[in-house]
Amino acid sequence: MQSSKDSTRDQDDRKQAHGAPRLPMELWIVVAEHLRHDTTRSFQLYPVRPFHMPSIKSLRLTSRNLNAAVEPLFWERVELAPVNRGKGSIGIIQHLHQNAAHREFVKCLIFSMWRPSPPNQPPPDGNSGSDEARPHVETLSRIFTRLHNLRAIHVNRSHMTCAMYEHLYSLQQLEHVEFSKPPVILLERSLDFDRLDAKMLRLKAITVSYGATETPPGVSACARLFLSPSLEKLVTSSSMAPFIYALTSQQSFDQLRYYEAVEPLELEGFTEFYAFAAHCPNLTSVKFRPRITTEITESDRIPSPPANILTQLHSFEGTLALASRIVPGRPVESVIAAFSSLHSDIPLEAPLKRLSESSRRIKVLNLTIRYLEDDYLAIISRLVPSVEELEILLYLHLVPGVGTIGTRLHLDQLKPLSRLRIFVLKNLQPTSFGPTVIPEPFPELAEGSEQIPVMKTLCKEHGLLEYVELGQTVRWIKEHDSWVWRSPSGSGLVDFEVARSE
């Protein structure tokens, strides 16, 4: 016999369907998938902040059919944080303990700032209703080891138990692991590494975003995850890098395509990286985040890599000094480089000449420099005439005690860049330092209408141009045969009637 609750739910379903066409369950699932879809970067399988999670939550409450369609999507990403979501986290843990079907839906787990229970104090039980105290990592561990379909794990400044660490090796669908810092693994007992075979893992991407002032317990054990033979992307911190480099004696990283780390503080660190790169025959992209405190500013002090490594390198990002050592003789087409110090006055021509010695034409060049010297654009055009995308970021406004220097555009110097499609020239946007409002490098060209004469000259000399930014606020985008400029103060459509240069 049907209960009154089920009868009411059926009536609600009929009412919901009365004003809208009935759709097969498969189509409702397609709708739900569209709502959660996001243009994320490669390897970021589940975005940290899904755009349409409120819509998915609303659909769950609309009808029984819609609830069934979106329930797997609702539970595919679970976030547990005991500091500001302690009660909610305990509720989610209790629910997952009691609902095996929903545990199977969990594909991405994000957990932040879980700490061990103090000595002689038992942790709150995730199966009990206790939420009087902040939950401890032992509570998280009990549900973590019951999640078997995880594909992505994000660990934000959190401890892990031995059981959690060992569980990683049983997750055959796990592809992405991200640590905000090297994790602290509670070594409450010894780990059986003979049984924990990382070569059985199918990890594609591992990220360690930041370093630590001290090497936390268990970091060497965590580094063993990097032995996954399917690893394609590796982002590591300064404290993890030595452990990872030490693993090269055990295997080659044949699938690794992308490597990112902090630039070594000591010159010996470059030699260690080169030894590691020798075991990564298919690396195509390398990025070294610059150290603000680094003193290695002269390229002749950095050792050159052996000629037989990084032979597949297509993209490099790092300081200009390091780029000038690594790029020559390699098939690099994209370079993102910056002076290694806000206060350094390194001539541009010498390192740029080294970049021009790439075995392929450089198509993308992004330079971060103090200010635009009168001959810089001429040097770029002469040494790297194959550039199709040129971006120049200026950071003069970030250097204390240095006044504004009158920068002239000298755009006529770009004439040799016959393949130029994208041109950007503006001030660097700081992340955690510098002024909140970035000053205009060219105040006389702060509005789109004021840039029309400049754009007319650029279009005359560069028939392939598609996108231009001059200054902080105005963007020019080519649409068919016209150009559209957009800025916070407005927008406009301009049809440049110019004669192409011979």
pLDDT value of residue 16: 47
pLDDT (0 to 100) of residue 391 = 96
Q: How many CB atoms lie within 10 A of CB 216?
A: 15
The residue behind tokens 């990872």 is 244
What are 471's strand-pairing partners? none
**Which pairing describes strands 364-369 and 334-338: parallel, antiparallel, or unpaired?**
parallel
Q: What's the rounded Cα separation, in Å, for the pair 491 and 489? A: 7
Total residue count of the chain as it appears in this document: 502
Distance CA 236, CA 268 (A): 18
User: Both tokens of residue 274?
Assistant: 């080169």
3-state secondary structure 468-486: EEECCCCEEEEECCEEEEE
Looking at residue 37, its pLDDT comes to: 52
What are the pLDDT tens digits along the chain (502 aa)?
445 545 554 554 544 444 445 666 666 666 656 655 543 333 344 444 444 455 555 656 566 666 666 778 788 889 898 876 667 888 999 999 999 999 999 999 999 888 887 766 555 554 444 434 567 889 999 999 999 999 999 988 888 888 998 899 899 899 999 888 767 777 767 777 667 888 788 889 888 876 555 556 667 777 778 888 889 999 988 777 888 888 777 778 899 999 999 888 788 889 999 999 999 999 999 999 877 554 454 555 889 999 999 999 999 999 888 999 999 999 999 999 987 665 556 678 999 999 999 999 999 999 988 878 889 999 999 999 999 999 998 876 555 544 445 556 789 999 999 999 999 998 877 654 445 567 777 777 778 888 998 999 899 999 999 999 988 889 999 998 899 999 888 888 888 764 343 3
Q: Would the pTM of this model clear 0.75, i.e. be above it?
A: yes
Residue type at position 38: D
C-alpha to C-alpha distance for 293 and 236, rounded to whole angstroms: 19
Dist. CA 479–CA 32, nearest whole Å? 33
Residue holding tokens 């819609």? 66
E runs forming strands in 341-481? 364-369, 389-394, 422-427, 467-470, 475-479
State both tokens at 68. 């069934």
Cα angle 342, 347, 351; round to 5: 100
Q: What is the structure's pLDDT at 502? A: 38
Beta bridge partners of 159: 184
